[in-house]
Structure 1
Amino acid sequence: MPQFFLNKRLIILLVSLIILVALIGFSLRERDDLTWPEQFVKDSTGFVQSIFYRPAHFVAGFFDNVGYLKDTYEENKLLRARLEEYALLETKVQKLEKENEEFRELVGELDSLRDYEAKPATVIARNPDQWVEQVTVNKGKQNGVEKDMAVVTSAGLIGKVKQANAFTSTVQLLSSLDPKNRISAYIQGDEEIFGLIEGYDQEKGALLLKRIPHQAEVKEGEKVLSSGLGGVFPQGLMIGEVIEVVADEYGLTQTAYVKPAADFYNISHVIIVERALIQQEEAPEDTTEEGGSE
């Protein structure tokens, strides 16, 4: 009896293997259509996969988007920092380019002032209430600066040293309204016409060149330079050019409005000019025009 069951199990196993091989062979052969069990199993599997795939894809996509947003935030933060650095560098470059240009102009001015001793200086202070009156520079008596020395920029004369301290100096600008702020000057033309820079017209932004002889023919556009007749200022420092000429109220003299060659509003670097000793010895005249009362 046991042997019968053993043979029966063996026969069932062999039949099952034969059926399995047949099914495998049947499924492997090329067919245009699937059987209904295969279609049912495939459709059921696809439906179940779609049920789980969409939520899983949504969750995965959500976390991916969160990751992308985080990366984008970090990148934007880095880009903003780089943009700020770029703006700062651009500002520094523009400032350096401007200073470089000013220094080049000053070097050229130094070459043209070879007859004088020039002392380059930098503006370190400027009172807003006295913006058109004076500036403070970083050179003083320890650098050989003395009162009434001429002060110029690369464009032209801007004023004189009003007060010299040990390490700094106060420069009085030509645009100052101080009535004692006078400079002996001349108009460069067919013939030299002398006068005094006395005062500043704020509305026209022009210096007043007074005491011009009434018979003198002054033309617009003619250059005005320091005359050096006061014995302190060097001769030939550029002051500006004539833009208008009017007669005084009595008709005895004329007054010329002179547009300054230098920019009194924006001053960063200057040159303090000391007149040569030989020229000082040659000009012992009264210095009331270019000394303390200039």
Structure 2
Amino acid sequence: MPQFFFNKRLILLLVSIIILVALIGFSLRERNQLSWPEQFLKDTAGWFENIFHKPVSATVGFFENLNDLQDTYDENKKLKARLDEYVKLKTEVHHLKKDNEDLRKILGKEKDDLSKASHIQAAVIGRNPDRWHEMLTINKGTLHGVEKNMAVETSEGLIGKVKSTNKFTSSVQLLTSIDPKNRISAIIQGNKDAYGVIEGYDDKRQALLLKRIPYDKKVKKNSNVITSGYGGVFPHGLVIGKVIDVEIDEHGLNQKAYIKPATDFYDIHNVIVVKRDIPSEEEINKEEDDGQ
């Protein structure tokens, strides 16, 4: 009797396994339609998912919106503080500008601005291949107001000065020219400006030499170099270039800086002749001599 029940159970187990495998195979095959139990289970799961998904999404979105609102509030607070600082700074600048104008009028110094200058547009019409880095010729002369020693620049920066003039043309001596008299008073801009004199050109480094910088002055690389206006010829503020290196000079008493020119001296087509509005010391002395 027990053997009979054992065989019966074994047969039921085998039949169940066969049915389960058949159902698995049936569910895995490609079908256009699901069976009704599968549809029921899928629809039920979808219904519960839809019920719980909306509240959860709404709750998560609510907290995300709160965080975004807090971030927006903080950013708005910072921007408002900066705006208040900007308005305050703008007011102070306007006030200082007005005070400066009033003081200049009181002191009678409005005319004595070393940066004030007149400009004459000109074009390069000649360049000797043998003296390519020394001299060029422009199409403006004395009839156009060009005078000897006037500064000449391009849109990028200073290139030299007027060496000689004719009625319709002028010769311009470049900063790269080897001439002991070709000197320019310059400023290295920084927290504390350093003064020196442009004297010569280093062909190897392709850089202008700025000499006579005091030994104790701290000069940083990439500092801007401009004309000082104290040389009596050039106006203040003409761009010369940037510092690429600094070292002690051969005498060990001062520093010298190598300046990368702001302008490409090899490729020059259009220039600007700059006349300083404030008269030089020579012009003042000449006027005094003529008056006597």
TM-score, with length taken from structure 2: 0.57
Q: C-alpha separation between the residues in 1 aligned to 2:200 and 2:138?
A: 23
2:281 is the counterpart of 1:284: yes
Q: C-alpha separation between the residues in 2 aligned to 1:250 and 1:170?
A: 35
Q: Which residue of 1 aligns with 2:261?
A: 260
Q: Is the 8 A contact 1:229 1:285 kept in 2?
A: no
Q: Is the 8 A contact 1:174 1:181 kept in 2?
A: yes
Q: Which residue of 1 aligns with 2:160?
A: 159
Could you report, residue by residue, the CA deviation over 1:139-161 in whole angstroms, capped at 9, with x for unpaired residues?
00000100000000000000000
What are the equivalent positions in structure 2 for 1:133-172 lying under 5 Å apart? 133-172=134-173
Which amino acid is the alignment partner of residue 270 of structure 1?
V
Q: C-alpha separation between the residues in 1 aligned to 2:258 and 2:150?
A: 24
Q: Which residue of 2 aligns with 1:242?
A: 243
Which amino acid is the alignment partner of residue 284 of structure 1?
E
Shift of 1:116: 1.5
List structure 1 runs of 4+ shifted beyond 2 angstroms.
283-287
Q: Is the 8 A contact 2:154 2:270 kept in 1?
A: yes
SS in 1 for 2:250: coil
Which amino acid is the alignment partner of residue 235 of structure 1?
H
Shift of 1:284: 2.9
Q: Is the 8 A contact 2:116 2:235 kept in 1?
A: no
Q: C-alpha separation between the residues in 2 aligned to 1:118 and 1:241?
A: 24
Q: Is the 8 A contact 1:158 1:173 kept in 2?
A: yes
Which amino acid is the alignment partner of residue 249 of structure 2?
D
Change (3 A) 1:286 1:224: farther
Could you report, residue by residue, the CA deviation over 1:235-273 in whole angstroms, capped at 9, with x for unpaired residues?
000000000001012310000000000110000000000
Q: Which residue of 1 aligns with 2:270?
A: 269
Shift of 1:114: 9.1
TM-score, with length taken from structure 1: 0.56
Could you report, residue by residue, the CA deviation over 1:163-215 in whole angstroms, capped at 9, with x for unpaired residues?
01111000000010112111000101111110000000011110000000001
Q: Is the 8 A contact 2:115 2:237 kept in 1?
A: no
SS in 1 for 2:198: strand
Q: Is the 8 A contact 2:115 2:235 kept in 1?
A: no
SS in 2 for 1:129: helix
What are the equivalent positions in structure 2 for 1:105-254 lying under 5 Å apart? 115-254=116-255
Q: Is the 8 A contact 1:151 1:157 kept in 2?
A: yes
Q: C-alpha separation between the residues in 1 aligned to 2:256 and 2:116?
A: 31
Q: Is the 8 A contact 2:133 2:265 kept in 1?
A: yes
Unaligned runs of 5+ in 2: 1-113, 285-292
Which amino acid is the alignment partner of residue 250 of structure 2?
E
Q: Percent identity?
A: 58
Q: Is the 8 A contact 2:117 2:275 kept in 1?
A: yes
Q: C-alpha separation between the residues in 1 aligned to 2:204 and 2:250?
A: 20
Q: C-alpha separation between the residues in 2 aligned to 1:285 and 1:247?
A: 34
Change (3 A) 1:285 1:227: farther
Could you report, residue by residue, the CA deviation over 1:67-91 in whole angstroms, capped at 9, with x for unpaired residues?
xxxxxxxxxxxxxxxxxxxxxxxxx
Aligned residues: 171
Shift of 1:286: 11
Q: Is the 8 A contact 2:115 2:229 kept in 1?
A: no
Which amino acid is the alignment partner of residue 281 of structure 2?
P
